[in-house]
Structure 1
Amino acid sequence: MLAKWIFLMCLIVCIAEAHELNSIKLFNVENYGAISDGKIDNNVAFMSAWNEACNWNGNASVVIPNGSYMLNPIIFKGPCKGWTTFEIQGVLKAPITHSFSDISWINFRYIDQLNLTGTGTGILDGQGPWVWGHKHVLMTMSFDFVTNSYVQQLHSINSQNAHFSVYSCENMVFTNLTITAPHNSPNTDGIKLGMCKGININNVHIGTGDDCIAIISGTSKVNISNVYCGPGHGISVGSVGNEGDESIEEIYVKNCTFNGTSNGLRIKTWAAPLEQPIKASNFVYEDIVVIDVENPIIIDQHYCPSGNCIHQVPSRVQISNIHYKNIQGSCKGDVAVSFKCSETFPCQNIITEDIYLWSNHCTQEGPSYSCENVNGVSYGEQCPPPCI
């Protein structure tokens, strides 16, 4: 009988310990001295809450309650011992003066299993209007070497530089985000991906002064769906093609809308020397709506935004296996589809299928195709008439 009683007590203790490990331990920043007046720096309180949450032997949540919290540039670093949630219920305000060595405002590094959520009310306020045009400005939030994580239900406004920068990350989901900055704000990319793999971006509304989404060197296996882009410069792959850049592969963009953007679907590569050729290949753009877009579909392998690039040579980026399917809507420019490919490495297997783009209606005076050094095939309804 005594043995059974001891066994039962041990079982109860084990169940209690397991429940404690599986439950979420809350670390409210106000309990660490955070003050929500929008003026006082809260770095010490936030870092104390993060350190205890990250080292909690189980699932933990750093909670930023309603209110306005000033935060200077800060790095939240792992690894952590379990799933770590960073829950922003209030407003975080970026500094308008900072050390010139700072690149990011809020940086998450070396973390596996991060859940960053704004719970629908959280706001990141970059306070960009105070510093746009200055040399030293901050990316709102950056992720470096973060894996198996979520960023969701958050609103980022008026970033000083890019809103979200994602570098060397794997298996991340960005969902239910609103990203906004004025159309004339400089370098305010929405989401910027570099050296990443397995990134999913869905149900995101982006309006900025630069690329809504920028996919740069070394990125692969990206799925983008249900993104509304406008204003901005569209969804861009590149610029890529300088020494040290790596291939970009397996990009899938579906069910997206571009409204009033300068570009829609853009691939851009530098016309620059490159010892070893790299690839931009295996992209699918499907079920896309464009509304008054200047350049709905564009491949530009002569990319030189300054107009005075030195050592300009044919691009050594091989673009191949790009499929454009069911893309419809109105364009403001004279050219609806522009393929300016490399003389040295012509674009290969470019497929256009059911493309219908118009100014007012499909006539000889409407928008046109433009093709240079491109090999491929066209299927289905095509307006304007294709040149491949």
Structure 2
Amino acid sequence: MHYGAVADGKTDDSQAFLKAWRDACEYYGRSRVWIPRRVFFLNSVTFQGPCNGSMAFLIKGRLKAPTDPRSFFTETWIGFKYIDDLTVKGGGYLDGRGQAAWPYNDCYRNPRCKPLPATLRFDFITNSKVNHLRSINSKNTHINLFACRNMEISKIRMTAPASSPNTDGIHIGLSSNIKISRAVIQTGDDCISMVSGSRNIEINDVSCGPGHGISVGSLGRSHETEYVSGISVRNCTFKGADNGLRVKTWSPSLYSVASNLTFQDIVMQNTGNPILIDQQYCPFSGCDPKVTSRVQIQDVTFKNIRGTSSTRVAVNIQCSEDRPCKNVKLIDIELAYNGRGGQAMALCTHVLGSSYGKQIPKGCI
């Protein structure tokens, strides 16, 4: 069954979208909401289930977010919640118009900053797909996954200026069996971030940069029992990113575990910190450098990582004195420093592991 969103394209079209969703969701069978090739203006909306059949949300047009500051301080622009067998696709544009909101983002110095909306937020979504979309200038994260299971995200392009704050491409928490592939992510924060409770995440064929790299963490600030495990990042390219492959834990932190992390067949092009484990992560003031992280990092493999580093320390593995990293492997690493001041370096602290094959810079394990 096909339901179209009927709207005038000049005023807030949220109610028309919600009506089309409710009609489709109540139908017993396969339903879809069709967004035609026009411009639509939406305030914060959440499309909620459960529905009586599989759902498709097909975006052909351009959806535009509000620029009135009174509409900024919420966690969601377009949300989907409690739905099984959902498809969101269509080739359309999601324009977060973040330029109006970024000056309000002071999270880099204020841990109690007000929320800004994720462009797409998925909560408690299962057995679903997101593909063939473009998200531009998000106010905050482009795509946020929370408590999701069995999702595929592919053929997505996310762009925001390198200077835009907290515009992560894809942020994943408390979710499992997530596959991300064939994506181009150019943002002002992590291209992909995986925090507490992320399990069995497969990332393949992603181009990252500008941005802060593909990150596991930050971990250990809360969620003591929600471990991270089974992360696979393969066949990805980093172009001018501030970081490459990064694992970061808060210091100080609660006890937690990050294990079975594989980073393989990666190309770095003028990338800062290509390989980085940072267990002294603390972007805010007031941290005590004498207090170490209690997050246990173990079973980590970096294999066939090659290219150029924009920072001299191309391999930087700084683990916790309290809980040293265990079973870290460096296999066939070839990273050249493209700046002045000497050749690339590798620094390792409180790490137990081994090195195999080519090691440029010379391995520190």
Q: TM tier, shorter chain?
A: over 0.9
Please name the residue that 2:75 is paired with: 103
Please name the residue that 1:26 is paired with: 2
Once residues 171 and 22 of structure 2 are traced to their aligned partners in structure 1, the CA distance between those partners, rounded to angstroms, is 27
Question: May I ask how many residue pairs the two structures share in their alignment?
Answer: 354
Of 353, 357, 365, the residue aligned with 1:380 is 357
Please name the residue that 1:313 is paired with: 291
2:330 alignment partner AA:
T
Matches within 5 A, 1:201-350: 201-245=180-224, 246-274=226-254, 277-309=255-287, 313-350=291-328
2:176 alignment partner AA:
K
Matches within 5 A, 1:79-98: 79-97=50-68, 98=70
1:52 aligns with 2:23: yes
2:20 alignment partner AA:
A
Other structure's SS at 1:263 match: coil
1:57 alignment partner AA:
Y
2:133 alignment partner AA:
L
More helix by share: 1
Please name the residue that 1:163 is paired with: 142
Residue deviations 1:164-188, cap 9 Å, x none?
0100000000000000000100110
Cα offset, 1:27, TM superposition? 0.3
Please name the residue that 2:108 is paired with: none
2:5 alignment partner AA:
V
CA contact (8 A) 1:271 1:312 kept: no
TM (normalized to structure 1)? 0.89
1:129 aligns with 2:99: yes
Other structure's SS at 2:22 match: helix
CA contact (8 A) 1:63 1:86 kept: yes
Once residues 301 and 311 of structure 1 are traced to their aligned partners in structure 2, the CA distance between those partners, rounded to angstroms, is 11
In structure 2, do the counterparts of structure 1 residues 311 and 358 end up closer, same or farther at CA, with 3 Å as the change threshold? closer
CA contact (8 A) 1:70 1:92 kept: yes
Once residues 159 and 99 of structure 1 are traced to their aligned partners in structure 2, the CA distance between those partners, rounded to angstroms, is 14
2:234 alignment partner AA:
K
In structure 2, do the counterparts of structure 1 residues 163 and 169 end up closer, same or farther at CA, with 3 Å as the change threshold? same
1:96 alignment partner AA:
T
Cα offset, 1:130, TM superposition? 1.5
Once residues 2 and 250 of structure 2 are traced to their aligned partners in structure 1, the CA distance between those partners, rounded to angstroms, is 48
Residue deviations 1:129-177, cap 9 Å, x none?
1221115532111000000000000000000000001000000000000
Once residues 289 and 315 of structure 2 are traced to their aligned partners in structure 1, the CA distance between those partners, rounded to angstroms, is 28
Q: CA RMSD in A?
A: 1.6
Residue deviations 1:193-226, cap 9 Å, x none?
0000000000000000000000001110000000
Once residues 100 and 231 of structure 1 are traced to their aligned partners in structure 2, the CA distance between those partners, rounded to angstroms, is 25
User: Between the two proteins, what is the percent identity of the paired residues?
Assistant: 46
1:172 alignment partner AA:
M
CA contact (8 A) 1:273 1:311 kept: no
Cα offset, 1:243, TM superposition? 3.5
Cα offset, 1:311, TM superposition? 8.4
Residue deviations 1:85-120, cap 9 Å, x none?
0000000000122446621101100000000002x2
Once residues 191 and 85 of structure 1 are traced to their aligned partners in structure 2, the CA distance between those partners, rounded to angstroms, is 21
Once residues 331 and 222 of structure 2 are traced to their aligned partners in structure 1, the CA distance between those partners, rounded to angstroms, is 34
Q: Structure 2: any 5+ residue segments left out of the alignment? A: 106-113
Other structure's SS at 1:129 match: helix
Once residues 132 and 124 of structure 2 are traced to their aligned partners in structure 1, the CA distance between those partners, rounded to angstroms, is 22
In structure 2, do the counterparts of structure 1 residues 153 and 263 end up closer, same or farther at CA, with 3 Å as the change threshold? same
Q: Structure 1: any 5+ residue segments left out of the alignment? A: 1-24
2:4 alignment partner AA:
N
